[in-house]
C-alpha cells in the first residue's frame, strides 16, 4: 500500500537529479551537491558565510547544582565575526555531572528557558543526554524585518536576491555555531549529536543537518509543510506552499514564491532533506491530530527517503502497511518515525521517542 501510494504520487527522486539514476554511493556523492543546491536555491536560500572567527564565553554557571546536583548548567555567548562585524547571541548548555561521553541534543527553541515546555531538561539529563539550546529570536526575529540581528548584518547594504537566505537558513547558521562550541567539549560524544526543533524549527533542524555533516542526526517535530511533509499528495486541511507563503514568506528565499500553487509540480521534494542527511539518522515526530502538518504526507516523506539510505547498505524507513497512521515507534531503520495521538506540540512522548531512537 505505502509503495503504491508513493508510485501514484510520481515524486521526483534525489537519485535522478543529475539526469541519470545513480546506482552507487560514489555516484550519489557526486550528485549530492546538486541536490543540496536545488533545496537551497528553490526553497531556503544559501546560508550566510561561515564566520571569520567564533569565540565562546561563559556568562553564568551552575556547576553541579542544576536538577538537585544532577547536572552542570552553563549560560554562554557566541561572539561571531561575520561580514567584518561582530554578531553575538546567547545559548545554554546542560550536561550530567556523572558520566563520561554524553550523546547530545542541540535544540533550536522558541524560548531561552531552561527547562522549557518544549525541553524537559531534567528528564533529558536523567536519560544520560546533554542538551544545548538557543532561542531563535536571539538570532533574528521571526518576521519580515531583515534589519535586526544576523539579518541586519547580511542585508546591511543590499537587497534580498532570489537565492538569499530566509530566516530558516539564518537560524540553521546559528545552530552550526553552537555545534562549533560542542566540538570543543571533551564530555560530548561527537559521534552522537542530534539537532532538534519543533514546527518551523523542525524545518530548521533538517536543513541544519543537511548542510552540516557533523550532526549525526536530525529530529523534526511536527514540521509539516516545507519541512518533513511531502508537497505532493496533500489532503483537505493540510498546509500548502501557498498557505505558508501567505504568512511566512520570510522563512524562505525569494525564489520559493515561484512554487505557489504548484505543490504537485516542484522539481524537488521534502524527502530530499532526509536524503541529504544519509547515511546519518533522521527522526520525525508526527501527531495524528496535527492535520495542518499532514501526518500522511510525513509518513510518506519518511518512506520516500529510504532509497538513498539503502544505497549505503543501510535500512531506511522500516514499516509495514499496517503501520500507516498508527500511534507507535518505527525505529528499526536510519529514518525513524514517532507517531502519537494529539496535536501540534513538542511533547514528552516525542522526547521519549527521540531518546529511544538515539539509543538504538
- What's 152-219 look like in SS3? HHHCCCCCCCCCCCCHHHHHHHHHHHHHHHHCCCCCEEEEEEEEEEECHHHHHHHHHHHHCCCCCEEE
- On the question of pLDDT at 157 being above 80, the answer is no
Instruction: Quote the cell numbers at residue 17.
Output: 537529479
The residue count of the chain comes to 360
Confidence of residue 158 (pLDDT cuts 50, 70, 90): confident
CATH code assigned at 33? 3.40.50.1820
Smallest Cα–Cα separation from 38: which of 219, 276, 201?
Answer: 276
Confidence of residue 239 (pLDDT cuts 50, 70, 90): very high
Q: Summarize the confidence of residues 18-22 as an average pLDDT.
A: 89
| Angstrom distance (rounded) from CA 232 to CA 272 | 13
When the pLDDT of each residue in the chain is averaged and rounded to a whole number, the result is 97
- On the question of pLDDT at 19 being above 90, the answer is no
- pLDDT at residue 9, rounded to an integer: 95
| Angstrom distance (rounded) from CA 159 to CA 254 | 11
Smallest Cα–Cα separation from 274: which of 205, 325, 331?
Answer: 205
Chain segment 216-225, per-residue pLDDT in tens = 999 999 999 9
Domain count, the chain: 1
Smallest Cα–Cα separation from 45: which of 175, 224, 167?
Answer: 167
Instruction: Quote the cell numbers at residue 66.
Output: 542544576
Domain span including residue 132? 2-358
Smallest Cα–Cα separation from 268: which of 296, 235, 305?
Answer: 305
Amino acid at each position: 500500500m505505502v509503495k503504491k501510494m508513493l508510485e501514484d504520487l510520481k515524486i521526483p527522486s534525489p537519485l535522478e537529479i543529475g539526469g541519470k539514476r545513480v546506482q552507487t554511493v560514489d555516484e550519489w556523492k557526486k550528485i549530492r551537491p546538486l541536490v543540496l543546491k536545488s533545496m537551497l536555491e528553490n526553497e531556503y536560500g544559501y546560508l550566510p558565510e561561515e564566520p571569520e572567527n567564533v569565540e565562546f564565553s561563559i556568562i553564568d554557571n551552575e556547576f553541579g547544582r542544576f536538577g538537585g546536583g544532577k547536572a552542570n548548567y552553563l549560560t554562554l555567548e557566541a561572539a561571531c565575526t561575520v561580514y567584518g562585524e561582530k554578531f553575538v547571541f546567547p545559548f545554554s548548555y546542560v550536561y550530567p555531572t556523572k558520566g563520561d561521553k554524553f550523546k547530545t541534543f542541540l535544540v533550536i527553541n522558541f524560548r531561552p528557558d531552561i527547562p522549557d515546555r518544549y525541553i524537559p531538561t531534567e528528564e533529558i539529563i536523567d536519560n544520560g543526554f546533554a542538551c544545548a539550546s538557543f532561542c531563535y529570536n536571539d538570532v533574528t526575529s521571526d518576521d519580515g524585518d531583515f534589519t535586526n540581528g544576523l539579518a541586519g548584518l547580511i542585508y546591511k547594504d543590499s537587497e534580498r536576491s532570489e537565492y538569499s537566505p530566509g530566516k530558516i537558513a539564518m537560524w540553521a547558521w546559528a545552530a552550526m555555531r553552537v555545534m562549533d562550541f560542542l566540538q570543543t567539549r571533551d564530555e560530548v560524544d561527537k559521534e552522537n549529536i542530534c539537532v532538534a526543533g519543533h514546527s518551523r524549527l523542525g524545518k530548521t533542524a533538517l536543513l541544519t543537518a543537511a548542510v552540516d555533516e557533523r550532526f549525526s542526526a536530525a529530529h523534526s517535530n511536527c514540521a509539516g509543510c516545507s519541512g518533513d511533509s511531502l508537497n505532493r499528495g496533500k489532503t483537505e486541511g493540510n498546509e500548502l506552499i501557498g498557505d505558508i507563503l501567505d504568512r511566512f514568506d520570510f522563512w524562505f528565499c525569494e525564489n520559493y514564491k515561484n512554487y505557489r500553487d504548484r505543490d504537485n509540480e516542484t522539481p524537488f521534494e521534502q524527502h530530499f532533506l532526509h536524503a541529504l542527511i544519509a547515511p546519518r539518522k533522521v527522526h520525525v515526530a508526527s501527531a495524528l491530530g496535527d492535520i495542518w502538518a499532514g501526518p500522511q504526507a510525513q509518513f510518506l516523506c519518511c518512506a520516500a527517503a529510504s532509497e538513498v539510505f539503502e544505497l549505503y547498505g543501510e535500512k531506511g524507513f522500516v514499516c509495514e502497511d499496517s503501520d500507516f497512521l498508527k500511534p507507535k515507534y518505527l525505529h528499526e531503520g536510519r529514518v525513524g518515525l514517532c507517531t502519537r495521538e494529539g496535536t501540534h506540540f513538542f511533547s514528552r512522548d516525542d522526547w521519549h521517542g527521540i531518546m529511544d531512537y538515539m539509543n538504538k
